[in-house]
Amino acid sequence: MRNSRLLLFLIIFLLLPPFAPGASLAAPPQQDRAGKRFNLASCLYNNITFRQGETSPDRWRRCAKTLKLAYDQEPGHEKAPFALYLLGKTHEEMHERFHDPADLAAAAGYYEDLAMIFPRHALSDDALLILGTIALTKNNDEKNAEKILARIIAVYPAGDMAQAAAVMLRRMKNGDTVADNAAKKEQQQDALPMAHLSQPIRFWSTKTYTRVVIETSGPVQFQEAFLKAEGELPRRLYVDLKHSRIAPTFQNPIPIRDGLLKQVRGAQFDPDTVRVVLDTESVKDYKIFTMEEPFRVVIDVTGAKPKTPDHLPTLAEQFGLGVKTIVIDPGHGGKDPGALGVNGMQEKDIVLTVAKKVAAILEKETAFKVILTRDRDTYIPLEERTAIANTREADLFVSIHANSAPNNHASGVETYFLSLATSREEMQAAARENAASSSQISDLQKILQDLMQNSKIEESARLAGCVQGELVNGLQQKHDVKNLGVKKAPFIVLIGAQMPAVLTEIAFLSNEEEVRRLRDERYLEAIARHIVAGVRQYVAKLNTM
Binding site for Zn ion (CB under 5 A): 331, 338, 401, 433
Q: Is 333 left (phi over 0), alpha (psi -120 to 50) or beta?
A: left
Give least dist CB 500 to Zn ion, A: 20
Which residue, 61, 35, 65, 34, is CA-closest to 48? 61
Of 256 and 429, which has the nearer Cβ to Zn ion?
429
Label the pairing between strands 202-205 and 283-291. unpaired
Q: Which residues pair with 240 in a beta bridge?
A: 223, 275
Of 63 and 400, which has the nearer Cβ to Zn ion?
400
Do residues 256 and 205 make contact, with C-beta atoms less than 8 angstroms apart? yes
Of 114 and 441, which has the nearer Cβ to Zn ion?
441
Do residues 68 and 76 make contact, with C-beta atoms less than 8 angstroms apart? no
Angle value at C-alpha 361, between 358 and 365, nearest 5 degrees: 145
Measured CA to CA, the distance from residue 361 to residue 320 in angstroms comes to 21
Decide: residue 318, CB within 10 A, 0-12 exposed, 13-18 middle, 19+ buried.
Answer: exposed
The Cβ of residue 369 has, within 10 Å, a number of other Cβ atoms equal to 15
Residue number with the smallest Cβ distance to Zn ion: 401
Measured CA to CA, the distance from residue 87 to residue 282 in angstroms comes to 22
Give least dist CB 352 to Zn ion, A: 12
Of 253 and 331, which has the nearer Cβ to Zn ion?
331
Give least dist CB 377 to Zn ion, A: 14
Give least dist CB 483 to Zn ion, A: 19
| Interhelix angle 178-189/142-155, nearest 10 degrees | 60
Of 159 and 331, which has the nearer Cβ to Zn ion?
331
Torsion over CA: 425, 430, 436, 441 (sign) = negative
Give least dist CB 331 to Zn ion, A: 4
Give least dist CB 147 to Zn ion, A: 47
Give least dist CB 482 to Zn ion, A: 18
Decide: residue 60, CB within 10 A, 0-12 exposed, 13-18 middle, 19+ buried.
Answer: buried
Give least dist CB 226 to Zn ion, A: 35
Which residue, 3, 96, 10, 100, is CA-closest to 46? 10
Sheet strand arrangement including 283-291: 202-205, 209-216, 295-303, 283-291
Give least dist CB 504 to Zn ion, A: 10
Do residues 191 and 201 make contact, with C-beta atoms less than 8 angstroms apart? no
Do residues 359 and 432 make contact, with C-beta atoms less than 8 angstroms apart? no
Give least dist CB 401 to Zn ion, A: 3
